[in-house]
Every structure is written in C-alpha cells, then in structure tokens.
Amino acid sequence: MTRYHVATTGADDAEGTADAPLRTVSRAAALARPGDTVTVHAGEYREWVRPARGGRSDTRRITYEAAPGEHVVIKGSERITGWTRADLGGTGAGTGAGTGTGTGTVRTVTVPAGLFGDFNPFAHEVDGDWLLHPPTGERAHLGEVYLDGRSLYEVHDRAAVVDPPRRTTAVDQWTGRQQPLPDPDATRRVWYAEVGRAATTIWANFGDVDPGDAIVEINVRRSVFYPDEHHLDYITVRGFELAQAATPWAPPTADQPGLVGPNWARGWVIEDCFIHDAKCSAVSLGKEASTGHNLSTQRGDKPGYQYQLEAVFAARQIGWDREHVGSHVVRRNTITDCGQNAVVGHLGAVFSTIEDNHVARIGTRRQFVGYEIAGIKLHAAIDVEIRGNHVHDCTLGIWLDWQTQGTRVTRNVLHDNTRDLFVEVSHGPYVVDHNVLASAVAVEVFSQGGAFVHNLVGGAVRLEAVLDRATPYHRPHSTQVAGYAVVYGGDDRWVGNLFLGGDATSAYVPGTAGYGPVDVGTAGYDGCPATFDEYLAGLGPGDHVRFHGHRQPAYVHHNVYANSARPYEQERGAVVLPGPVAWGLVVDDGAVHLELDLPEAAVAPVLDVVTGADLPPVRFVGADFEAPDGSPVVLGTDLRGDARTAGTAYPAGPLVALPAGPTRVRIR
C-alpha cells in the first residue's frame, strides 16, 4: 500500500513522496491502486480529478484526503484578471467609461476558447427533462462568475448589466408566492456573456468593487471529483473544500453528473468536506446516461414519467442491484449554495446512508426552476437512511420521489425551507421518525405506506392521491421490481407526533385544482377507515373497479395537537391542548435550540418504544416495517441520540423527555 503526497510545490514527474510530492491530484489519481492513499497538502488546486481506478473492497479502498489540519481547495474554476472598463453606450451607461447609474463600473474581459477546452459552460444552457423555462424565453447558462467566492446573477442582454435592479423576492413555483432571495444586494452584481469560436466575452457589474482588488473567477469544468468511467468502486473523498463546478441539470431521466460523486459505482464515502457552488447538483449518487438521457425533452413524444418508468427497467438490465451499485456514505459534509441539489440520485443511491450533513441555500437564488430542486432529492431510495442532517433555507428540504421503500428519515432538523419533506408516488414501507419539521409547509404526502413516528411537526400537512402515475414497488430490500400501482391515498401511520400548528393555506398552489386535504395535523385523513377490516368491508363487488374512489386506512393514534392543529376524526389517544403553545427554533452561532412552553398534558408518557411490530404492514407491497437486515425496525433513539428503553412509556414528540413549562434544549 502506497501513500502518495500532493503539494502546490510539487511536480507531476516527482515520486509522490512527502519529500518529493506530486503537483496535481489528477496525477496521483492516475497512479493510485487499491489500498493506496493520496494525501493532499494545503493550497488551491484547479482541476477535475477523474480517478483511473477504484478499490477492491471496503478494506482495500483508494482514499483521497486532505492532510490533517491543512486546508485543501479543489475548484472547477479559473481566476480571471485583465478586466477593463466597458463602453456599453445608451441610456444609463454613463459617458463611455461604462459607469452605471449608482451601480459601480461595468467591466469586460475576453477569455480565449483554449481555457475551456472542449466544454464551455457559457455556451451551454441549463436544460433537460422536468425543467421549467420562463415564458419570456430567457435561458440560464451553466457558466458562473464569482466575486470573492460569491456568484453573480446572470442577465440576458448587455444593456441589463448597466443598471440592474435590486430584487428582494422571486416567485416560488410551488406556492405561487413571492419568496425572499438570500442576498438582495447581490442581485445588482450581474454578468452577461457572448460566446464566439475563438473567445468568450463577459461583461460584469461588480457594484462598488474594483475587480483588480478582488478575486474574480469563472467556472470552466463540469465537475471537480468525478470519474469518467462507471464501476470504480470503494473510493473515499475526505476533508476537502470542493467548489465552483458547471454541473448540468440532473433530472431522474438523464445522466446525473455532480460536482463530486461515484458515477454509477458502489461503496463510495464522501465525508468531512465543504462542498459549494455547484451550478446544479453537488453530490451525485445518481443515474447514468445509457438508461435514458433527457429523451422527453429531445423527442417530445412521451411524458417524462414514461421515460422514467422505462429507466427503472433499463437499469435492471445493466445490473442495477446491491452487488454493483449504491451502498454509499455521505456524512459530515457542509453543502451550500447550489442551484438544484446538495445530494441527488436516481437509482444509484440504493442502500446508502446520508448522515450528519449541513445543507443550506439550495435553489434559493431561483435563476432557474424545475421539478427536481431540493436539498436532498432521491428517486428509488431503497433501504436508504437519511439521518441527523440539518437542512434549512432551501426551496425544499428533502424530496423522496418514486420507490421510497425501506427508507428511513430519522433525527433530522429542517426549518426555514419553503417546504420541508415531500414524499411522492411511493408505496412504502418508509419511516419518518424523531425529526423536527418546522417550516410553514412541513410534510407533503403524495404517497402511501408511510409511518410518521415521534416527530415535531410545526407546519401544514398536505395529502394528495396520485391516480395517473402508476409507479413500481420492489421485493423487500431488493431492486427487483415486484409490481406497480397508483397512489390511492391513506395507508399511512401517524404515531406519537407533536403537532404545533401552522397555516394550512401555505400549502396551496393558487390557480390549480385537484388537491387533496391540506391541514395542520392529521385531520386530512378524515374519511379514511381506521382499520384494514373496515376498509375491506367498505368495498363493493367486482375486481379492480371496487377499489376506485376508496381511500385506504389511516392508522393514527397517540398524537398531541396544539394551536391550530387538529386530529384525525377516529384517532385513538389524541391529546388536544386547550390553550396556545409558544414555541420556536433559535439558531445561535451554528447551534440550533428548540424553545417550548408546554403544559403537563403535552409531556405525559403515552407510548412504549415503537417497533415494526407495532406498525401494520403496507398494503400494495405487502411488506413489514423492517431494518435493512430484515428484522423489525426499532425506533428507539430520539432526536438527540438518547435511547428509549422497552417497557417504558414516553411522551409524544422527538425527545425522550421534556419538562412542562418553559424550556430550551439544544437539538443540533
């Protein structure tokens, strides 16, 4: 086993020892073999690392790591100097010096084509299946201009660079409401580019900053750490800052390259990194191109849904199974300021763990919109555990879409997102336990077969049946397709949750129709039978037609409701608090505290430890709530990591104990 060293003082024809280090991580990646370690020393590396080979097993990995205690940055960008004053002419352009009306100086630079090689982000639009283009026809590009590490806004003609307006909000595609932009002052710092055969010319308004006194960069590489080949398994990426890549739109019906990721492989570990400023997706665990690549957009003959369904079967034909794909670990990373996702993956994330990450400001600049934007966005999340993450200030926190089965979302803290958790067109079983879901829209369930246990729910709960998209389900703990079905609604379990109110109207999209119940609490399940026997007794004669129009059972008991939250009409053991309950989250120097003022009735012990044996099996899959090893799942660890003991009763909510009266507890 060899340890290669890389340093900014090295040379790629050196031996790669500590005394004679290599100059680039890419050269070390060409040399490293199973069991080897690449140690990268402090400094800035501008390259796309494309490993030549992977490890052989979990104990014979190839490990890429920042040297202990040293700050290592790998960027997909290049620094650009030589900016000159631009004469744009016309109203507001000043007297020919390029000075805008109150916005500083407009500058320009010409970048030779050779800097980009065969990929120029400024020539490629953000485009593909499930993307929504504005009616004005303006298209965002993959290019970015960064001023002292912060990306500028793109505008779509030279004149707009001169005096850009300050914008404080943008319309959210889901709620139809204006949502705040993260930095209104930054919206006046903009760029525009024109691409020629020999060069790309960029105009930029840097506000009151002289680019000669700042660091100005543009992204020139699609990825930062991402193989060209599939099935390079067992690679660890540890301790780096990874930034500024021109990653393309990554829908589930296309190749899904990220700033960093395995590119259809098995057993990667991505840990302890600071990952930021991916144009679209940062960490990709997702699909490859041979099973479909934006065919709905290219052909226009079938909906994306149909191509997505075909991709599932195509993936099975090329070896989509536990032995070849998935089982990745993404942990203890900070992932921020990306246009589409912090973590994305269709098919390739199976059997993986995403834990203890800090995810923030994903999709909030709203320079493009589409149906695939979320902090964590997974399709076919089979036996995936999403645990202990802090997700905030995103358009959508966690979105589990299609084939959410054997999935567990546990001990996460989500707040200040437009929406927290969305589970779409899945049949379960999946478990959501011991989370804090504190945004205005806390939970959206367009699925069936879920179990929500011991959560704090601080916003609206929106339910919807989906009768026009039959989606696959699988044999338990396997990628083998067992069947497919539409979502009738119901077949959910809500046990021991603490509902603290909110505004149900915040979950509506104006001007649309067909929405199911929206409530604050579980009252949206009113009209569902309370048992499976009651459901069967209500069906009429015939075969498939007798199931039409019948909502499935809702298994709801021992929840606590405060403020505007209301219980399911047939709930057992519901506690409805008579007066208002004050509560909130306080973020202080990176720590998150929960503040509550609860009456005695809210903290009374009501439930023993909940296990899979306490949760009725899901209807369509016919499966129990199990851990990945097939044993009954045990929901025995609370939000802070404290254990629940079998035979002991505990109160509703995500903590094993809370006192009555005012309290403040750190939860992250």
pLDDT at residue 165 greater than cutoff 70: yes
Q: Give the mean pLDDT of 539-553.
A: 89
Interval 471-491: pLDDT, tens: 999 999 999 999 999 999 999
Rounded to an integer, what distance in angstroms lies between the CA atom of residue 566 and that of residue 569?
A: 9
Q: What is the mean pLDDT of the chain?
A: 94
pLDDT at residue 96 greater than cutoff 50: no
Sign of the four-CA dihedral 297, 348, 471, 449: negative
Burial 173-200 (b: 16+ CB within 10 A, else e): bbbeeeeebeeeebbbbbbbbebeeebb
CA distance to 85, 132, 315, 392, per residue, from 427 (Å): 59, 27, 20, 27
Q: Two tokens at 204?
A: 């930029």
What is the C-alpha radius of gyration for the chain, rounded to an integer number of angstroms?
26
Rounded to an integer, what distance in angstroms lies between the CA atom of residue 420 and that of residue 460?
A: 10
CATH code of the domain occupying 235-244+260-575: 2.160.20.10
Q: Give the mean pLDDT of 519-534.
A: 95
Peptide linkage before 184 cis (omega within 30 of 0): no
Rounded to an integer, what distance in angstroms lies between the CA atom of residue 443 and that of residue 463?
A: 9
pLDDT at residue 158 greater than cutoff 70: yes
Rounded to an integer, what distance in angstroms lies between the CA atom of residue 530 and that of residue 56?
A: 51
Q: What DSSP letter does each residue of 543-606 carry, written as one string?
A: SGGGGTT-PPPEEEES-EE-TT-B--TT-BS-EE-SS---EEEEEETTEEEEEEEE-GGGSS--
Check residue 508 and give its pLDDT: 65
- Cα–Cα nearest to 237, from 253, 259, 256: 259
Residue type, 423: V
- The answer to whether residues 183 and 151 touch, using CB atoms and an 8 Å cutoff, is no
Report DSSP state, residue 621: T
**Could you tell me which CATH class the domain 79-219 is placed in?**
mainly beta
CA neighbours closer than 13 Å in the CB half-sphere of residue 174? 21
Quickly count: other Cβ atoms within 10 Å of residue 44's Cβ.
Answer: 12
Report DSSP state, residue 274: E
pLDDT band for 515, please (50, 70, 90 cuts): low
Residue with tokens 């020539």: 123
- Cα–Cα nearest to 394, from 340, 334, 459: 340
Check residue 94 and give its pLDDT: 31
CA distance to 170, 496, 536, per residue, from 286 (Å): 29, 34, 39
Check residue 506 and give its pLDDT: 76
Between 545 and 326, name the one with better pLDDT.
326
Residue with tokens 């077949």: 491
Q: Which helix (H) or strand (E) holds 232?
A: none
Where exactly are the structural domains of the chain? 3-76, 79-219, 235-244+260-575
Q: What are phi and psi for residue 307, nearest 5 degrees?
A: -70, -35
- Cα–Cα nearest to 327, from 308, 346, 354: 354
Check residue 287 and give its pLDDT: 97
Q: What percent of the chain is predicted at pLDDT more than 70?
A: 96
Say if strands 216-219 and 77-79 run parallel, antiparallel, or are unpaired: antiparallel
pLDDT at residue 556 greater than cutoff 50: yes
Rounded to an integer, what distance in angstroms lies between the CA atom of residue 459 and that of residue 473?
A: 29
pLDDT at residue 514 greater than cutoff 80: no
Q: What DSSP letter does each residue of 44-69 carry, written as one string?
A: EEES-B--S---SSTTS-EEEEEPTT
Distance of CA 427 to the CA centre of its chain: 21
Q: Two tokens at 213?
A: 């006194």
Residue with tokens 């002991």: 648
Residue with tokens 């079905």: 485
Q: Which helix (H) or strand (E) holds 635?
A: strand 634-635
pLDDT at residue 382 greater than cutoff 90: yes
Say if strands 190-195 and 199-205 run parallel, antiparallel, or are unpaired: antiparallel
Interval 579-618: pLDDT, tens: 899 999 999 988 999 999 999 999 999 999 999 999 999 9
Interval 219-266: pLDDT, tens: 999 999 999 999 999 999 999 999 999 999 999 999 999 999 999 999
pLDDT band for 91, please (50, 70, 90 cuts): very low
Task: For residue 341, give the 3-state DSSP assignment.
Answer: strand
Quickly count: other Cβ atoms within 10 Å of residue 324's Cβ.
Answer: 16
Residue with tokens 């930021």: 276
Check residue 516 and give its pLDDT: 66
Rounded to an integer, what distance in angstroms lies between the CA atom of residue 234 and that of residue 316?
A: 22
Check residue 9 and give its pLDDT: 98
Q: Two tokens at 217?
A: 């960069």
pLDDT at residue 512 greater than cutoff 70: no
Rounded to an integer, what distance in angstroms lies between the CA atom of residue 527 and that of residue 465?
A: 14
Check residue 101 and give its pLDDT: 35
Interval 292-341: pLDDT, tens: 999 999 999 999 999 999 999 999 999 999 999 999 999 999 999 999 99
